[in-house]
């Protein structure tokens, strides 16, 4: 006999009914904005319509239009789809709706701004609620719907969606036991890029007091560079690159054209993609510059990377083996890698193949170096900065400590089959206990359990080889500092 019972909460739009699952109240598919279809398509998000009576919140809401990850990543990164038009919805896991003042963590998923949703099982918020944190996970518009750049529509619509969700949290989270003044916003990969942009925009001021960047660095394109992908999709469809013209295209045809234009690359080697845009309104300057020069200086920040991020894209595709010495030299020229830097990385990895060497360089150039520079710039700021590195190597397909591997540990969802697709069945629970606890403590107190960043550059290593125990008590000062400093230019 089931022990699941109902739970209700009153939002500004009406009452929602969820369920109590294993002692945690769960509400799924709550609209935080109106469905972005019809006259609202390619427009800024608008408030949801209120409802009478009680709205069921038992199932995940519709996911934004997307295609699955291309093989072989589709087997490693399951990405469920839920049909429907009301994509702008969120989910809440809470210890109880009867409490007050609980810390809140708002999760913004990754997926290159093309994939992902809040329905991914790895992001189940039960463990956070079990440990006293209200977990909110958010859907937002993806691809051309959310990030295509048009002359007749606002830019960064997916980011506007995320802001609307945070504004909903500010207005409603007390009904779920959360404290609107104790909100942490967190994201991984493209979600972390989004969080960095939220940190950099004035409109987000006051919506959160802490932030987490996992495997994503501040970044945005100027409008001229950002128009390329939208233009290629419109050209493939034979229509002008305007919101009005593309709104008239069959949605499936638009999604097929988007997939055709954006497939074949990866976040490290590049290809046509969607990015945030310095639009002069929501983002008035590059987020990296804004954050290095004091934006969000009072916000506590936790950020870090996985040791071998590149292996998620390089290994399953066979790219690691296809890169020889000549391709490595050409790639170093393309990325502008200093010769001295390449020599240091090579000396530190005497057994690395050319593909592995390129992967290590690209990982640091695009992720570790900018995050360390941001940490350096924030040293001494009002808000504390904490840096971690995740180094546990998965046995699956020689992927090592690859991109996205840390997610099941942060959410403590190692037992779920979708998590095991990347971790395998025997991932160390004690490592999940340590990493999840650090995120809970950061959301609760602002202190994840190791020294904040200063001139010593302390980094908390999780599961790295050579640490004492799989959860590793190791805090390393200035790890691989010779490599980081080699990127510095006069």
Query: Given pLDDT bands bounded at 50, 70 and 90, which one contains residue 222?
Result: very high
Contact 371/305 with Cβ under 8 angstroms?
yes
What whole-number distance in Å separates Cα of residue 408 and Cα of residue 415?
A: 9
- Give the pLDDT of residue 25: 97
Q: Answer yes or no: 403 catalytic.
A: yes
pTM (predicted TM-score):
0.96
Q: How many CB atoms lie within 10 A of CB 287?
A: 26
CA angle 40, 42, 48 (to 5 degrees): 35
What whole-number distance in Å separates Cα of residue 198 and Cα of residue 165?
A: 12
Query: Inter-axis angle of helices 223-237 and 251-262, to 10 degrees?
Result: 120
Q: What CATH number has the domain spanning 5-315+378-477? A: 3.40.50.1820
Query: Given pLDDT bands bounded at 50, 70 and 90, which one contains residue 201?
Result: very high
Q: Give residue-wise pLDDT tens across range 274-317.
A: 999 999 999 999 999 999 999 999 999 999 999 999 999 999 99
Q: Of 145, 308, 309, 389, which is the active-site residue?
A: 309
Structure tokens, 392: 């546990």
What whole-number distance in Å separates Cα of residue 273 and Cα of residue 15?
A: 39
- Give the pLDDT of residue 98: 86
Q: What CA–CA distances, in Å, run from 274 to 94, 146, 190, 240, 258?
A: 33, 9, 10, 18, 10
Query: Given pLDDT bands bounded at 50, 70 and 90, which one contains residue 3?
Result: low
Query: Inter-axis angle of helices 325-335 and 354-363, to 10 degrees?
Result: 20
What whole-number distance in Å separates Cα of residue 245 and Cα of residue 415?
A: 46
Average pLDDT over residues 185-205: 97
Cα 285 to chain center, whole Å? 21
Percent of the chain with pLDDT over 90: 91
What SS3 state is found at 264?
A: coil
Domain chopping of the chain, boundaries? 5-315+378-477
Question: What size, in residues, is the chain?
Answer: 490
Contact 255/67 with Cβ under 8 angstroms?
yes
Cα 95 to chain center, whole Å? 24
- Give the pLDDT of residue 469: 43
Please list the residues that pair with 137 across neighbouring strands: 91, 107
Contact 186/195 with Cβ under 8 angstroms?
yes
φ, ψ of residue 22 in degrees (nearest 5)? 55, 40
- Give the pLDDT of residue 464: 67
CA angle 75, 80, 85 (to 5 degrees): 150
- Give the pLDDT of residue 489: 63
Closest by CA to 263, choosing from 115, 83, 438, is: 115
Instruction: Flag whether pLDDT at 267 surpasses 90.
Output: no
What whole-number distance in Å separates Cα of residue 127 and Cα of residue 410?
A: 10
Closest by CA to 437, choosing from 368, 396, 388, is: 388
Q: Of 112, 137, 189, 452, which is the active-site residue?
A: 189
Structure tokens, 172: 């409603």
Closest by CA to 314, choosing from 258, 354, 276, is: 354
Burial letters for 429-439: b for 16+ Cβ neighbours within 10 Å, e otherwise? eebbebbbebb
Q: Give residue-wise pLDDT tens across range 394-432.
A: 999 999 999 999 999 999 999 999 999 999 999 999 999
Average pLDDT, rounded, for the chain: 94
Rg for the chain (alpha carbons), in Å?
Answer: 22
- Give the pLDDT of residue 438: 98
Q: Give residue-wise pLDDT tens across range 59-93.
A: 999 999 999 999 999 999 999 999 999 999 999 99
Contact 102/178 with Cβ under 8 angstroms?
yes
- Give the pLDDT of residue 473: 58
Structure tokens, 384: 């504390």
Q: Of 194, 403, 452, 483, which is the active-site residue?
A: 403
- Give the pLDDT of residue 380: 86
Residue with tokens 């790890």: 479
- Give the pLDDT of residue 355: 96
Average pLDDT over residues 164-174: 98
Structure tokens, 145: 């719907």
Contact 426/397 with Cβ under 8 angstroms?
no
Relative to beta strand 15-21, strand 24-31 is antiparallel
What whole-number distance in Å separates Cα of residue 211 and Cα of residue 335?
A: 29
Residue with tokens 């699941």: 4
- Give the pLDDT of residue 365: 95
Contact 463/431 with Cβ under 8 angstroms?
yes
Q: Say if residue 19 is preceded by a cis peptide, omega within 30 of 0.
A: no
Query: Given pLDDT bands bounded at 50, 70 and 90, which one contains residue 272?
Result: confident
Closest by CA to 55, choosing from 118, 10, 3, 25, is: 10
């Amino acid at each position: 006999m089931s022990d699941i019972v109902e739970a209700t909460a009153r939002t500004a739009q009406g009452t929602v009914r969820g369920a109590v699952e294993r002692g945690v109240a769960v509400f799924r598919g709550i609209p935080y904005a109106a469905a972005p279809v019809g006259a609202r398509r390619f427009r800024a998000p608008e408030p949801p319509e209120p409802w009478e009576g009680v709205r069921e919140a038992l199932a995940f809401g519709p996911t934004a239009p997307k295609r699955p990850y291309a093989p072989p990543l589709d087997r490693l990164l399951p990405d469920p789809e839920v049909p429907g038009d009301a994509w702008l919805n969120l989910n809440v896991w809470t210890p109880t709706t009867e409490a007050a003042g609980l810390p809140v963590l708002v999760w913004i998923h990754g997926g290159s701004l093309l994939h992902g949703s809040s329905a991914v099982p790895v992001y189940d918020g039960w463990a956070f609620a079990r440990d006293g944190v209200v977990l909110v996970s958010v859907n937002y518009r993806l691809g051309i719907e959310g990030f295509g750049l048009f002359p007749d529509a606002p830019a960064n619509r997916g980011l506007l969606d995320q802001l609307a969700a945070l504004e909903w949290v500010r207005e409603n989270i007390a009904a779920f036991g959360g404290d609107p003044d104790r909100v942490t916003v967190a994201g991984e990969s493209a979600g972390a890029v989004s969080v960095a942009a939220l940190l950099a925009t004035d409109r987000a001021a006051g919506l959160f007091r802490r932030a987490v960047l996992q495997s994503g660095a501040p970044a945005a394109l100027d409008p001229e560079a950002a128009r390329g992908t939208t233009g290629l999709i419109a050209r493939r469809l034979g229509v002008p690159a305007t919101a009005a013209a593309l709104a008239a295209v069959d949605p499936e045809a638009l999604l097929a054209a988007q997939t055709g234009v954006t497939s074949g690359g990866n976040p490290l080697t590049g290809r046509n993609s969607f990015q945030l845009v310095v639009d002069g309104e929501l983002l008035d300057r590059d987020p990296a510059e804004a954050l290095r020069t004091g934006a969000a200086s009072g916000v506590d920040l936790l950020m870090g990377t996985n040791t071998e991020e590149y292996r998620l894209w390089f290994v399953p595709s066979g790219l690691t083996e296809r890169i020889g010495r000549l391709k490595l030299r050409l790639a170093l020229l393309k990325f502008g890698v200093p010769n001295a830097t390449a020599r240091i990385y090579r000396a530190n990895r005497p057994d690395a193949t050319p593909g592995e060497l390129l992967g290590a360089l690209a990982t640091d150039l695009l992720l570790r170096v900018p995050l360390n520079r941001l940490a350096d710039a924030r040293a001494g700021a009002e808000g504390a900065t904490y840096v971690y590195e995740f180094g546990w190597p998965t046995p699956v397909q020689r992927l090592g400590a690859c991109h996205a591997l840390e997610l099941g540990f942060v959410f403590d969802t190692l037992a779920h089959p979708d998590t095991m697709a990347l971790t395998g069945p025997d991932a160390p629970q004690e490592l999940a206990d340590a990493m999840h606890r650090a995120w809970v403590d950061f959301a609760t107190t602002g202190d994840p359990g190791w020294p904040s960043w200063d001139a010593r550059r302390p980094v908390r290593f999780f599961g790295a080889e050579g640490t004492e125990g799989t959860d590793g008590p190791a805090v390393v000062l200035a790890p691989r500092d010779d490599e980081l400093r080699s990127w510095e230019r006069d």
